[in-house]
A and B are shown apart, each in its own frame.
Chain A
Amino acid sequence: MRNILLIAKREYLEQVRGRAFRFSTVLVPLLIVVLMGGNFLMARHADSGKHIAIMATNPCLAGAIRDQLLADKENSLSIDVPGPASQELRAALLDQVRNNSLDGLLTIDSNNASSPRMTYTSLSSGDMDIADQLRNAARTAIARQQLLADGINQAEIDRLYKTISIDTQRIDKQGNVAKGSGLTTMIKIYIMLLLILMPILLHGMDMARAIIEEKSSRIFEVMLSVSSPEETLAGKLLGTGAVGLTQIVIWIAAIVLASSSAAVAAMMGGNFDFHISIAEIVFFVIYFVLGFLFYSAIFSGLGATCETAQDLQMYASLIVLPAWLATFAVMNVVTHPGSPWNVVATLCPITSPFVVVPRLGLEAVPIWQLTSSLLLLILSLWAALWFSSRLYRVGILMYGKRATLPELLRWLRSS
């Protein structure tokens, strides 16, 4: 045990003092902020500054739709309602769309007053957001006109169409209610996913690379003359795991500080309520530790079988790919919380460390799924350690050439 702790301490100090640790500690959160902030701002201001024209056979309706669009304070569209509709005007406006001096043209054929025919023309057929806004605005404008025609006064109509805000909250089977806006929950889920995913991949690869380096510099010859391969591997896993945990503690502290700052609250429109339950924290730590050890064991086995960093790059993608696939599983968790695929991803040990914690942030995960998932992950961890320690024991003393699959099988049998 003494040797394991000494090796773990050495691994920990060397990595924490290294440049790679400093870079990844700063760069990963920066990357998260840039990606999420960028997405958030893009989503929020996707239509900013767009210039469109509305041409209708009924100019009143065109004006009403424009007013409806402009009533939305978050909307920064610039909207023209040119003179009465005509073929010449339509052709001229379409020319402007083609020349990019106009972002889009909405034409409304309102011969049938209750169901006017509307066409939106732009250079991009994927302009879904703006088409949605136009549809909603047109529906409201037509309804308002109809109500006015039916003799209901303007004040009454305004009262009917007053903007309603909605708060979201989640209730579990015990009746506990947790508050939180959809956007905040989304941000929380992606932060948690990245907090687990990034250290596992970064430090797992680092460990495999260090093993190759130690193998080529024959440090293992000296290490194995003092400690057993199992002690060396255990020390490496513990040390690297502690590095990952240190990084996470730094990141969480940074998130807590940032979430209480005025700047973030302002960015989120004063609606930033970053709530995280004790259960989420406990499961986060459990899945991080188990997931980290599981992937690190696989990476260390891989490192012991490779001769060069190039070999590692080639084979590492086989490990990294399932981990990245888990990010798609998390997207499915967000959009379809009750989907059977989420249950599969929760139970599968390759994806469970990344999927369970985000799921807990979104919905109440049944106890049987949690216990089965943990059990399967622990069993897989045991199997990964078993295989890796055998590959490690033989692989670190094999120099000169990359091991083939039949050789790997022989190593497993012989050790």
Chain B
Amino acid sequence: MPVVELAAVTKAYESKVAVRELSLKIEAGQMFGLLGPNGAGKTSSIRMMLGITMPDSGKVALFDKPFARKSLDHVGYLPEERGLYKKMKVIDQLVFFGELHGMKAQQARQRATAWAERLEIANALELKTQELSKGMQQKIQFISAILHDPGLIVMDEPFSGLDPVNASLLEQTLIELKNKGRAILFSTHRMDQVEKLCDEICLINNGEAVLSGKVREIKSRYERNRVIVEFEGCADFLKSDEIAEANNYADHAEIKLKPHGDAQKLLHEASAMATIYRYEVVEPSLEEIFIQTVGGRANA
């Protein structure tokens, strides 16, 4: 059963088409990455999913039913920028958003306290939002999005402003939620996180889906033309005819082969000139696929 489904949705603002005929489906227990350069139509797609705006054409379904506001009680949303009342006490704010999602005040208070303890931010509950650091505010925003235990969690740049320790804490929490069957949608520019966490992605550019599917499948579609070499000795093999581009770092070199470049031939050349400790032909990263697909069309 798809938790959220967009079927050929289109949204135009005045003369600009923000989203054109976009279709995607997210299942329960799936982490989904919605990727694209700035202005590609990610926020417009999310807004339609959440009923903030209505599509000009196409259909939105939540929890296998046509969109209805009532379904939003089971959706949690973390916007890219802080969606918190600055002068309101954190605990009051969490209870308020919990109540708006249909919770009882007492229940919302208990869960907010439990989540705050879990995310190591319990001491912030009695403070006003404006008194918190950016990272702390992000954690509070995160709690606000998951407090009511939603079936669908929509997160726009969830790791923004977090240090590695806290980012890891949030990653673990999201993986747990996913394992409990919650559907999670990411909208982000951080390809390393998408690669690590998401099962499926949809890459949009100029309002249109240009690439979509399971991360593994997408990566397998691309040629394995990258080589990582750890070596000692002469680096002249990096000038080989098989190589399109090479970066020689302190402890290793990253090589991009020419189309139809021969990795075995290169290994042979390299081993003749240097001592090779590691020679690995790797698939392209999502970041490379992103850049390759969007290319010069990205407008930011």
Contact = CB atoms under 8 A, between A and B. Distances in A.
Interface of A: 3, 6-7, 10, 14, 18, 213-214, 217-228, 397, 410
Nearest to A3: B100
Contacts of A221: 47, 52, 77, 79, 81, 83
Given A3-B100, A6-B99, A217-B81, A224 B87 contact: no
Residue of B52, B84, B88 ringed by the most chain A CB atoms within 10 A: B52
Given A6-B96, A6-B99, A226-B101, A218 B85 contact: no
A18 B87 contact: yes
A193 to B, nearest CB: 32
A219 B85 contact: yes
Contacts of B80: 218
A96 B99 CA distance: 79
B53 A225 contact: no
A62 B82 CA distance: 82
A32 to B, nearest CB: 29
A222 B94 CA distance: 12
Interface residues of B, number: 28
Contact of B52 (A14, A213, A397): A397
A219 B83 contact: yes
A413 to B, nearest CB: 11
Given A222-B144, A224-B52, A225-B50, A6 B100 contact: yes
Q: Which 3 A-B pairs have the closest CB atoms?
A: A222-B83, A225-B50, A221-B79
Contacts of B144: 222
A146 B269 CA distance: 138
Nearest to B77: A225
B84 A219 contact: yes
Residue of A218, A221, A225, A227 ringed by the most chain B CB atoms within 10 A: A225
Given A217-B84, A225-B50, 20 more contacts: A6-B96, A7-B100, A14-B88, A213-B86, A217-B83, A217-B86, A219-B83, A221-B47, A221-B79, A222-B79, A222-B84, A222-B144, A224-B50, A224-B51, A225-B52, A225-B72, A225-B77, A226-B101, A227-B100, A228-B51
Nearest to A9: B96
B87 A14 contact: yes
A225 B75 contact: yes
16 contacts: A14-B87, A217-B81, A217-B82, A217-B83, A217-B84, A217-B86, A218-B80, A219-B85, A222-B83, A222-B97, A223-B83, A225-B50, A225-B51, A225-B77, A226-B97, A397-B47
Contacts of B75: 225
B84 A410 contact: no
Interface string B60-89: 000000000100110101011111111110
Residue of A7, A213, A218 ringed by the most chain B CB atoms within 10 A: A218
B106 to A, nearest CB: 15
A70 to B, nearest CB: 62
Contacts of B84: 217, 219, 222
B81 A218 contact: yes
